[in-house]
Structure 1
Amino acid sequence: MRQQLASMLREARHAAGMTIDQVAAHLLCSPAKISRMETGRRPASQRDVRDLCDHYSVDTEKREQMMALAQDGRRRSWWDEYELPRGYSNLIGMEAAASSMRDFKSSTINGLLQTEEYAREVISSYFLPANPALIDQLVAVRMERQRAVLRRDPLPDMQFVLDEAALRRVVGGPVVMEEQLGRLLAITSELPSATIQVLSLRRGAHAAMDTTFTVLDFPPGTPLKPVVHVEDVFGDMKLERQEDVDNARQVFQRAADAALSPGESRELLEEIRAQYEREQPPER
């Protein structure tokens, strides 16, 4: 709700041809307050929305929708219970509302598809020295994030393209990887709206080789517009310009076209999983 309202407030200001500084000066508040409401970092109160709608001359129908979103936005979402980076919180909120996701990962498996042990190994690698309490919290968030998306009704349409390197990287050892590959195979069988393709290492150079990103689309009639979420160890970015979204779609499609078909990908997943199974130490 907060992200929907933030998008509508930003759109209304642009339609009115005003800058953040101009709006802040008129409402006698700081530009930072307007910026935080437009990015979803700060929940906009109904009074804030009323004043902004008056200033932007928003029509009655859209005003009522924004006022309702402001009221709903005061309710805390499950992820508000955690102190998360803003970019990550935004991603969770967008995933909760998305009708479709197109995701490419070059070196790790998408967080929505990770087993708990794989997620723990990946998250633990961020911290030196280790912070067990924070690691536990972030793993719990990742597992709850999976439940929130993969148990939705209806499920979003999801297409994942994984570079084979992400499957060959031994995260946590053969046991962890065998379970992780099993998880990917189970998803391809149990979730008809989820497609997994592997981009073979034999394919060589490809369009998405130097990046990792997700294109999210939202149901028709909602105020949210398509967005690209770019994930990086130094922080997350949200790209909303139409030219950026179009470019990301093209890059993703080129990667998907270069990848193995879903059936061929499943065969490779089974092959790599069997390799990890053979590499496991014998039981004592």
Structure 2
Amino acid sequence: MMGDFTRIEREGKVAIVHFDREDNLNAMSAAAMRELTAVARGFEDDLETIAIVLTGTKRGFSAGADLADPEMASRRDKGLLARRHALKIGPDMCGAWERLEQITICAVEGFCIGGGTALAAACDIRVAAKSAYFRLPEIPLGMNMSWHSNPRLVNLMGPSRAKLFTILGEKLPAPQALDWGLADDIAEDGEALDAALRLARKFAALPPVAVRMSKQSIDMAAKALNAAVTYMDRDQFALAATSKDQQEAVSAFLEKRKPNFTGE
């Protein structure tokens, strides 16, 4: 099965979703996020698949939201209602992957940045190549971390490490991500997908009803309050986007200088 940005392979009870925009960054445009959402929703009535592996390219999983996407840029000049609605696209994508009853495994090579990390955190398990890294640049750029990601990261890493990772915006190399709980397995470079497939096959060999029920019960124990503590994060994002600090952060980044934040 082929889409504009995705390709689905099947191996018995395992499905492999390849996300590839055929560029250097594999960034998430609005169209790409809609397609990734549709792909996840396409598995909702699939009773044959037990495990799904989601992977990017050999160079990187994703550089995050595509800030150069004309569709996303055009919405910034619209009214608050339209902007607020547009901000649903990222959390809807992550939510669609998180809600799947199948086991979801994210295979990461290279970089996994911003929205790429948000999507990876919405999956059940993450397998990273040895030289891969994760990074969240949002806070240093004057934004908040949205897409309902904060509680997912706390579930995985604990509050202290989630603060270090999220707020500082520094690279988290795969071995450290494994130590901190964001990654669950490390593979040799170029072999993250193979390692994820080996794990997926183990899940696929188990009784499907027991697998699905166990996943749901574990998720409810870990994530019961996630929606309650993140329902406002897109409104926080919209508010942060109006600040002078956010404008200063972007300008400083583009001009390759140190930003001067004032809290305005």
Question: TM-score higher than 0.5 here?
Answer: no
**TM-score, normalized by length of structure 1?**
0.28
**TM-score, normalized by length of structure 2?**
0.29
Query: Which structure carries more strand by proportion?
Result: 2
